């Protein structure tokens, strides 16, 4: 007897009451869980909404606007410091450069999300090769007409995005190479890959950043001290590529040996086997893992604060110490804002990942 025969007829999705009974109150256990969950939501959601929206102060020029009994989030603090949260101490006269970089990235990214958009290949090359160059030249400057802006003046969302995007763009190819290296039949390459991966996975990111920022100058000759943000970028990229390598390796192991053998039997070389047969399947399997690593990396960028670079969160915390905007609910407001910013980006990434999964798995979904 097949499973279909054993199932009863599908229940009609009738009234709201019927839906409630079926989904929320179908048994004593479920009823208890529903009530507990509802109570917890009742405890947490209304106060949060009250604080963030209904009781919040939306307009005002000074900190006095936010003082007083029963007032919620102090949004004027965020409006006043908004430029700091987004650009850090980037000179005001040069902010158009950052805006162009943001806009270019956005314009190039949108067609990538639309399956029917043309010229995908050129778009990828633009995003991965041309765009970083443009961004570097525009952001750092020191070109005719573009005065230099030292990275110590970058901050806020700009730094978060620069660190995260660099980590993402570098870690995926590097991670794939490391994963292939770890499964290589050549002992030297395998050993090197294992040592690299295990070393970077074995140390905390905080240690890496601290060593890169503070200890490195002790070892290097004077005058040869790379930019502080650059050191962080290299550290973050190497660190995340070790994680990426293990995610990709997980995908490689899911590919049955028959696929390799069939590819080799068809006369494909090693790189053809990997590039045409194995990796397309392996990477599709591990999209959730890859995006998971990206999201983790995005949130780990907050750690650059410990080496004196202000990302969004660091900038929020720094601005909170400004006595002209110190208010009782300042810290809560600032952290709420930082949380919203991070959530938007991370949720966007995870939505894109599930969209990709659905598209690539169209043939095998159930």
Partner 1 sequence: MRNPVAALLLGILIGVGGLYFVLPYDAAAVLAGRGTAPATAVETEPGAERTGAGETLRRVMRRGFLQCGVSQGLAGFSSPDERGRWSGIDVDYCRAIAAAIFGDGEKVRFRPLSAKDRFTALQSGEVDILSRNTTWTMSRDTQLGFDFAGVIYYDGQAFMVRKSSGITKAEQLAGATICTQTGTTTELNLADYFRGRGLDYRVLSFEKNDEAISAYDQGRCDGYTTDASGLYAERLKMQHPADNIVLPEIISKEPLGPVIRQGDPQWADIARWTLSALLNAEELGITSENIEEMRESENPLVRRLLGAEGSYGASVGLRPDWVIDIVRAVGNYGEIFERNVGVDTPLGIERGLNALWTDGGVMYAPPIR
Q: Measured between alpha carbons, how far is 241 from 160 in angstroms, rounded to an integer?
A: 18
Q: How far is Cα 127 from Cα 133, in angstroms, rounded to an integer? A: 10
Cα angle value 89/92/96 (rounded, 5°)? 110
Calculate the alpha carbon distances from 301 to 124, 141, 156, 297, 337 in Å: 24, 23, 11, 6, 16
CA nearest 159: which of 324, 290, 350, 341? Answer: 341
Q: Does 129 bind partner 1 (CB under 8 A)?
A: yes
Question: Nearest approach, Cβ of 91 to partner 1 (angstroms)?
Answer: 9
Stretch that binds partner 1, among 13-21, 149-157, 194-202, 353-361 (CB under 8 A): 149-157
Q: Does residue 224 belong to the site contacting partner 1 (CB under 8 A)?
A: no
Q: How far apart are CA 152 and CA 156, in angstroms?
A: 12
Q: Whole-number minimum distance, CB 229 to partner 1, in Å? A: 7
Q: Of the candidates 317, 297, 314, 136, which has an alpha carbon nearest to the alpha carbon of residue 230?
A: 136
Q: Does residue 141 bind partner 1 (CB under 8 A)?
A: yes
In whole angstroms, the minimum distance from the beta carbon of 207 to partner 1 comes to 12
Among 83, 105, 111, 288, binds partner 1 (CB under 8 A): 83
The reply to whether 112 sits near partner 1 by the rule CB under 8 A is no
Q: Work out which of 112, 117, 128, 186 binds partner 1, going by CB under 8 A.
A: 128
- What are the DSSP calls for 129-165, one per residue? IIHHHHHHHHHH--BTTB----GGG--HHHHHHHHHH
Q: Which span (46-54, 168-176, 246-254, 286-294) binds partner 1, by CB under 8 A?
A: 168-176
Assess 266 for contact with partner 1 (CB under 8 A): no
Burial 254-278 (b: 16+ CB within 10 A, else e): ebeeeebeebeeeebeeeebbeebb
Q: With binding defined as CB under 8 A, does residue 63 bind partner 1? A: yes
Residue 326 binds to partner 1 (criterion: CB under 8 A): yes
CB of 331 to partner 1, least distance (A): 5
Binding status of residue 230 toward partner 1 by CB under 8 A? yes
- The C-alpha atoms of residue 276 and residue 268 are separated, in whole angstroms, by 9
By the 8 A CB rule, do 217 and 231 touch?
no
283 binds partner 1 (CB under 8 A): no
How many whole angstroms separate alpha carbon 353 and alpha carbon 113?
Answer: 10
Residue with Cβ nearer partner 1 (133 or 257): 133
Tokens, residue 365: 């979904």
| Least gap, CB of 74 to partner 1 (angstroms) | 11
Q: Which residue's CB is nearer to partner 1, number 112 or number 276?
A: 276
* CA distances from residue 282 to 83, 254, 305, 351 in whole angstroms, order as listed: 42, 7, 36, 20
Residue 276 binds to partner 1 (criterion: CB under 8 A) = yes
- Establish if 213 lies at the interface with partner 1 (CB under 8 A): yes
Under rule CB under 8 A, which residues in 7-46 are in contact with partner 1?
none
Asked whether position 302 contacts partner 1 by CB under 8 A, the answer is no
Per CB under 8 A, 59 contacts partner 1: no
Q: Least distance (Å) from partner 1 to the CB of residue 93?
A: 12
150 binds partner 1 (CB under 8 A): yes
């Amino acid at each position: 007897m097949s499973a279909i025969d054993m199932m009863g007829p599908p229940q009609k999705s009738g009234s709201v009451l019927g839906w409630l009974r079926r989904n929320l109150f179908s048994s004593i256990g479920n009823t208890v869980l529903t009530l507990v969950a509802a109570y917890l939501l009742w405890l947490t959601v209304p106060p949060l909404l009250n604080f963030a929206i209904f009781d919040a102060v939306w307009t005002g020029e000074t900190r006095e606007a936010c003082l007083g009994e029963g007032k919620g989030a102090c949004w004027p603090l965020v409006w006043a410091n908004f430029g700091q949260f987004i650009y850090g101490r980037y000179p005001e006269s040069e902010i158009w450069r950052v805006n162009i970089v943001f806009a270019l990235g956005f314009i190039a990214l949108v067609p990538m999300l639309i399956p029917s958009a043309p010229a995908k290949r050129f778009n990828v090359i633009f995003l991965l090769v041309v765009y970083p160059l443009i961004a570097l030249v525009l952001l750092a400057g020191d070109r005719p007409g573009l005065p230099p802006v030292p990275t110590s003046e970058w901050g806020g969302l700009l730094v978060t995005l620069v660190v995260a995007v660099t980590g993402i763009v570098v870690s995926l190819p590097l991670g794939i190479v490391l994963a292939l290296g770890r499964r290589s039949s050549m002992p030297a390459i395998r050993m090197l890959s294992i040592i690299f991966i295990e070393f970077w996975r074995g140390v905390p990111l905080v240690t890496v950043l601290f060593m890169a920022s503070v200890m490195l100058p002790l070892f290097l000759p004077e005058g040869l001290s790379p930019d502080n943000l650059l050191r962080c970028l290299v550290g973050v990229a190497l660190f995340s590529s070790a994680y990426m390598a293990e995610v990709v390796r997980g995908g490689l192991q899911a590919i049955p040996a028959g696929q390799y053998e069939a590819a080799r039997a068809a006369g494909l070389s090693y790189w053809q086997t990997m590039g045409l047969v194995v990796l397309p399947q392996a990477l599709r399997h591990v999209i959730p893992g890859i995006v998971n690593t990206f999201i983790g990396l995005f949130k780990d960028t907050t750690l650059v604060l410990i080496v004196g670079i202000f990302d969004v969160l660091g900038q929020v915390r720094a601005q909170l110490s400004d006595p002209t905007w110190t208010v009782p609910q300042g810290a809560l407001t600032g952290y709420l804002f930082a949380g919203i910013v991070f959530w938007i980006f991370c949720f966007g990434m995870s939505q894109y990942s599930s969209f990709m999964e659905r598209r690539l798995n169209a043939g095998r979904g159930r």
